[in-house]
A and B are shown apart, each in its own frame.
Chain A
Amino acid sequence: MYILIVFLPLLSAIISGGFGRNLGEKGAGVFTSTCIVICWFISLVIFNETNLNTSILYLKLGKWLDSELLTTNFGFQFDVLTGIMLIVITSISALVHIYSTGYMSGDPHIPRFMCYLSLFTFFMILLVTSDNYVQLFIGWEGVGLCSYLLINFWFTRIKANKAAIKAMLVNRVGDIGLVLAMFVIFKEFGSLEFTTVFSVLNEVSYSNNMTFICILLFIGAVGKSAQLGLHTWLPDAMEGPTPVSALIHAATMVTAGVFLIIRSGPLFENSPLALIIVTVLGALTAFFAATIGLVQNDLKKVVAYSTCSQLGYMVMVCGLSNYSTSLFHLMNHAYFKALLFLSAGSVIHALADEQDMRKMGGLIKFLPFTYIMIFIGSFSLMGFPYLAGFYSKDLILELAYEKYYLTLAHWLGVFSALLTAYYSIRLIYLTFISNSNTKKERLMEAHESSWNITVPLGGLALGSIFVGYLAKEVVIGTVPPLVVPTIVKLIPTIFSLLGAILAFIGYNSFKTYKIFLPKINRGTVPNVVGPVVYSFLNSAWQFNFIINHFLVSKMLKFGYLVSYRILDRGFFEVIGPMGVSKWIVRVGQEISNLQSGKVYNYTLVMIIFVVLFILVNNL
């Protein structure tokens, strides 16, 4: 059964990919969904055994690399962390599979799509169940590959191609960090298995390389979890189909980086410097992404930046050594973010693939069910009391307050909570409440989707409401109650509600102006600061511009001028085949010029050499 949860998705992918033609569109959807739902039930049983009954299981299938120095097994490890991750992955994946059968209906390549989704699930499960870094790396690269394939699913679109390549390459920067970290770990510990590494930690930990290892591991996490600096691929990845965004770029793949930090927690504990870097970068990411989310006009990009922001929270709390809290937020976040994405997909589906929020509005009458779902997801995201997000997000902020030397992180986090509430309400307002900007004929056709789109939404909504409360004791039961002032406990909720009210008032401005500020004419005072700030935030702090113009184009020029023109076609050609052959031909021609055809020259040469010969002979 434990092996089945790993290989059932693989079987599903192989059959859907290889024999999808025979299965048909409907058959592929039903078959893969069934496989993943079975996985979900298995993961529930595993959760029962590992987490509730605390019976951890190690499984060795066989040897993979076996040299004198390094032995790597095909090994699986089902512990508390894996149990929770499996629940998250399989439940989100199963619901997304079911959702996709409805959302993608009419697409000609459904078997391929379902194959990629199942393959992704397989790699993700391989990632979380592995008992060594090498097998973790297989899963790590596998989800990157599936991300590429899925973003590029509509491969005829040039934007999708570009986004997929970007996602692959930016992830690859982080992957290099992970590979280097593995090298250093092997050098220090002589093994890559988690159990071995963590058990000999005390013998090695005085070495300075611990900081080095942790920072390299963190670079891997930065790439995969879209932290500040390597985050640019995540918003672009929204070019893929919406179920893909929900499964990969909200719930599972991006959390692989956080999972890596949690898994390597014992290593990070030995390096205070790395922990501070992790916290600060996480807090900055949370704040940065939240500010960008304020002004995005694309429905999915708002949610994407929100994901980026929440990942910042998770990473931040990892740096505060509270890995279980991070895992708890990861779990809750997966449910409400998948819910938000799938609801956004439902809206987009209802409006015939319109993603711009400025062209929506007034959908509350047409899509009441989706409205409720997005409402639940957003309030869970805001950390509204009693919903899932509340249990983890508020705890994260309190923990950040407790570490007095990182006040910066706490306040960035709190302010991000305000911004999160603001853009969540903005999304709801512009999409559902404000006056409609949609064409009339589209609005007339807007309707709720079929059952296989609404049922996953309902399931995820239940998750968004209840998971936080239900899993609280299991996941963060070990975190002791915090002794912080009451006001600090209240601040995140107050800030969130403040942000929500601000957004509602701000976007309800027509009415607000009538009531509070009747005499201000908005057109008379030219606003200078506003457009600048707006375009700065709307273009994501110009990160793409900076990277493209100061890094990518320079590298491209370097590659063309230095690598290609100076080295490959220049230096190596000159000392290599082309240069030598041309030189020989030229020298041969010059030598043949000596053959002037004039008899007296021949005589002269003859005499000169006779004289030389005599002279040399007499020396």
Chain B
Amino acid sequence: MYNEYFVTAVTLFILAVLGIILNRSNVIIMLMSIELMLLAMSFLFLINSEALDNLIGEVFTIMVLTVAAGEIAIGLAILVAYYRIKGTIAIKSLNLLRGGKLLATP
């Protein structure tokens, strides 16, 4: 009965993951994908609470929304701080902390 809802929620979640992985250009899209992930999770919680007929899922969904709001606020703050320093928000410019040939060869 709730099968379509589950499929919809999981599809949304996978879309969000692909949005993070395949997105090579913009940090804002990444943040939006994270929001989408959280929403897909909330949706799953709600459907579960409806299907199992208890309230834990709904309580949890409210807490997730709170966390999501706080997270996006901090994320955007980091983004703004980053933009002030670098002048761009392209993901390609985010790889200053990579590994590679930094060790001196003996």
Residues on A facing B (Cβ under 8 Å): 581-582, 585, 588-589, 591-600, 603-604, 607
CB pair A592 B94 closer than 8 Å: no
Q: A589-B100, A592-B100 are in contact. Are A603 and B21 (CB under 8 A)?
A: yes
Q: A599-B94, A603-B17, A604-B21 are in contact. Are A594 and B105 (CB under 8 A)?
A: no
Closest to A598 in B: B95
Would you call A597 and B21 a contact (CB within 8 A)?
Answer: no
A600 touches B98 (CB 8 A): no
Do A594 and B24 touch (CB < 8 A)? Answer: no
Q: Which A residues are CB-close (under 8 A) to B94?
A: 597-599
What are 29 A-to-B residue pairs whose CB atoms are below 8 Å? A581-B106, A585-B105, A585-B106, A589-B100, A589-B103, A591-B99, A592-B100, A593-B99, A594-B99, A595-B100, A596-B95, A597-B95, A597-B97, A597-B99, A598-B91, A598-B94, A598-B95, A599-B20, A599-B91, A599-B94, A600-B20, A600-B22, A600-B24, A600-B30, A600-B91, A603-B17, A603-B20, A607-B17, A607-B21
Complex CA–CA separation, A607 to B14 (angstroms): 11
Whether the Cβ atoms of B97 and A599 lie closer than 8 Å is no
Q: What 1/0 flags go to B69-106 for Cβ under 8 Å of A?
A: 00000000000000000000001001111111111011
Q: Given the interface contacts A585-B103, A585-B106, A589-B103, does A595 sit within 8 Å of B21 by beta carbon?
A: no
Given contacts A597-B97, A604-B21, 7 further A-B contacts (CB under 8 A): A588-B103, A589-B101, A589-B103, A594-B99, A595-B97, A597-B98, A598-B98
Interface of A is mostly: helix
Q: How far is the CB of A608 from chain B (nearest CB, A)?
A: 10
CB of B54 within 8 Å of the partner chain: no
Docked complex Cα distance between A595 and B103 (Å): 14
In B1-31, the 8 Å CB interface with A consists of 17, 20-24, 30
Q: Tell me, rounded to whole Å, the shortest Cβ–Cβ distance linking B71 to chain A.
A: 15
Q: Please provide the chain B residues from 24 to 59 with a CB less than 8 Å away from any CB of chain A in the complex.
A: 24, 30
Least Cβ distance of A573 to chain B in Å? Answer: 14
- CB A404 to nearest CB in B, in angstroms, measures 77
CA distance A233 to B19 in the complex (A): 87
Residues of B within 8 A of A588 (CB): 103
A593 to B102, alpha carbons, bound, how many Å?
10
Contacts A581-B106, A585-B105, A604-B21; is A599 near B100 (CB within 8 Å)? no
> How far, in whole Å, are A581 and B103 apart by their CA atoms in the complex?
14
- Whole-angstrom distance between the Cβ of B32 and the nearest chain A Cβ: 14
| Residues of A contacting B24 in the complex (Cβ-Cβ under 8 angstroms) | 600
Once the chains are docked, how many angstroms separate the CA of A604 from the CA of B21? 6
* Most B-side CB within 10 Å, residue of A592, A593, A600: A600
